[in-house]
Structure 1
Amino acid sequence: RTYNFPENRITDHRTGYKAYNLSTVLDGDLGPVIDSAIAMDEAERLAAIGEQ
């Protein structure tokens, strides 16, 4: 992840998640970051099932 303080931005390069609420995330509101990781995991699992 990239934490860009001047732009108040957090970017998760694995999932493509980007938001301009860095202070909220650093205060512990990780829900959207976790949700993007879960969505990526689910998509990868579904793709793997489709390849079988």
Structure 2
Amino acid sequence: MSYKTLDDVVGNTPLVKLKRMPGHTSNVVLGKLEGNNPAGSVKDRPALSMI
């Protein structure tokens, strides 16, 4: 993917549906891929607001 600015990336952390969860549940569980953020961290959004 290609983005024009950091504003386009921060706050759009990709989500992945987790297929295997312990127990029997019909709930959908999503995991956030924080490593895909520009700085590889959950601190990207506060850092952007400081800029």
Q: Hey, which of these two has a bigger chunk of strand by percent?
A: 1
Structure 1-normalised TM-score? Answer: 0.29
Larger radius of gyration: 2
Please identify which structure carries the higher helix content.
1
Higher relative contact order (CA 8 A, sep 6+): 2
